[in-house]
Amino acid sequence: MEDEMQYSLLDDPIIEVRFTDGKVDKTNLPGIFCALLEDSILSFEALQPHQQQPWFSFLVQIAAMAVAREMDGEISTEPATWRKALINLADGSEAAWHLVVEEVSQPAFMQSPVPEGSLEEAEYKSDIRTPDELDMLVTSKNHDLKGNRVLYPKPEYWLYALLTLQTMEGFLGRGNYGIVRMNGGFGNRPFVGLAPKLSWGVRFNRDLNVLLSYREKMLTMYNAKGHALLWMECWNGTKASSISLADCDPYFMEICRRIRLIKNNGDICCYRTNTKASRILTPDDLNGQTQDPWTPIEKKGVKALTLGESGFTYKLLQQLLLGEEYTTPIALEFQGAEQNGAFLITQALVRGQGKTGGLHQRIVPVPPKVSSRLFDNPSSQKKLAKRAQERVALTSEVQKKILYPAIASLLSSGKNEKIDYEKLAPWIDRFDQAIDDRFFESLWASVEVDPDEARKRWQLILLEEAEKLLREAERSIPIADLRRLRAVSQARSIFYGRCRDILELAYEEKVTVN
């Protein structure tokens, strides 16, 4: 049987890692856990940007289950202890941690046993030649990231692609169901969390301890001894063989597709087949509410956050971090180490029907003067949240009541004709992006400033960026020479007339200085 199992994540050095001392070496899963605990990993060499989120989440979830269930809550720094715990987590199966297991009645990593007895009987087909074909990333025009580009894939390429598909994919037509940790088949699984530093090790240690401390609270929905690795059980693709969500461990590692990797003529080949039901049975109104450690829940719609193509904008981030529109995931709750400063870390791969809406990543530093106020201080958080909301509202007012009519006047050459929003949208979006770049820096700076002074400073920023955009619009929008003077004059009249009312503090400051 040993010859029929290849590429062990427990024993074989198949994962290439760059360490903080500059050394590049290959290791296995127990070695990775120990290195993360020592904060000695700089990067994973073969890991692509869109695979970082599923890989990190996998490492934290697996570690949390192993420590809680197999280590009596004690985090070990010994590879042998981790190896034993991972085998026990897989009900004693070493096969469950191999990428390739020829005996299809046995599980393989992220690959469920085939109860039909053979791939032929289960109607598996081999139409995936490379890991990037297996990966969930869909490129509509094959421009930014080419498909079929990995001609000689290493085992770790298959590892990352398989993991990304099984823990991040959504619905892709009949027979191809998605994960439960997202709101609907065309949703996505967002990652929103905090960390005192950005290294792999610090983030891993921080979130591992968060998951361990919250485990008991999650047992109202889950089973402490429930299914941990969902690829362990036989799965014939029917609803009858699906697993109930309530019978799972709080941090279960799910799979959503029937996949098997087979060694053929020295190369790994991927086989797959469709299913008639999803791997996990859930209530119809679940809407992604699985208590995922990194997924915010929208209170109004009672559903998991689905990130749009606009990404993690300042409007969304201030709601997630400070507002009351979302239920905060446990990874976004301030811990003791974050009193001295933190980083807000967000990531999501936006999915669509037959396309990818972009990989969105954003990191926002939270300085100590802010994090110390937010940590265990509801009053300070409410004050800052109110200030953030007021700033978002004022920004929207500047867009709608100042920039919109002023630029519309330029686009109509001063004729006061109605302008389609499609022509105005690029200008409004550029202003929004300029504000996005300055929003949090200005908000954090305002915590130690008198409220009236803080209000004036924000209005000055809005006026400054709005004026820049107006001047650029005057230079670049094509206007007939005979009408240019009139159009520009009229646009400025609208602009400053409304600034006087909406940005009163900034306008007075500008007039006084001038």
d(CA 442, CA 241) in angstroms, rounded, equals: 54
* DSSP three-state, residue 111: strand
Q: Which residue has the tokens 């009949």?
A: 174
- Residue percentage of the chain with pLDDT more than 90: 81
- Whether 503 and 511 have beta carbons less than 8 Å apart is answered as no
- Identify the band that residue 140 occupies on the pLDDT scale cut at 50, 70 and 90: very low
Q: Tell me what pLDDT residue 139 has.
A: 44
Residues 261-273 have pLDDT tens digits of: 999 888 999 999 9
- Whether 322 and 388 have beta carbons less than 8 Å apart is answered as yes
DSSP string, 68-100: HHHSTTPPP--HHHHHHHHHHHTTT-SGGGEEE
φ/ψ bin of 265: left (φ > 0), alpha (ψ from -120 to 50), beta (otherwise): left
- Identify the band that residue 143 occupies on the pLDDT scale cut at 50, 70 and 90: very low
Q: Tell me what pLDDT residue 2 has.
A: 46
- Whether 28 and 39 have beta carbons less than 8 Å apart is answered as no
| Averaged pLDDT score across all residues of the chain | 92
Q: Tell me what pLDDT residue 215 has.
A: 97
Alpha helices in 143-249 (DSSP H): 155-168, 200-214
3-state helix, strand, coil in the chain (%, to 5): 45, 15, 35
Q: Which residue has the tokens 């230079």?
A: 475
Alpha carbon of residue 185 to chain centroid: 16
Average pLDDT for 17-22? 97
* pTM exceeding 0.85: yes
Q: Tell me what pLDDT residue 332 has.
A: 96
- Residue percentage of the chain with pLDDT more than 70: 94
d(CA 446, CA 314) in angstroms, rounded, equals: 16
Beta strands in 9-78 (DSSP E): 15-19, 24-27, 41-44
Residue type, 98: H
Look at residue 442 and tell me whether its pLDDT is greater than 90: yes
Beta strands in 340-455 (DSSP E): 342-352, 355-366
d(CA 504, CA 450) in angstroms, rounded, equals: 17
Which residue(s) pair with 100 in the sheet? 6
Look at residue 56 and tell me whether its pLDDT is greater than 90: yes
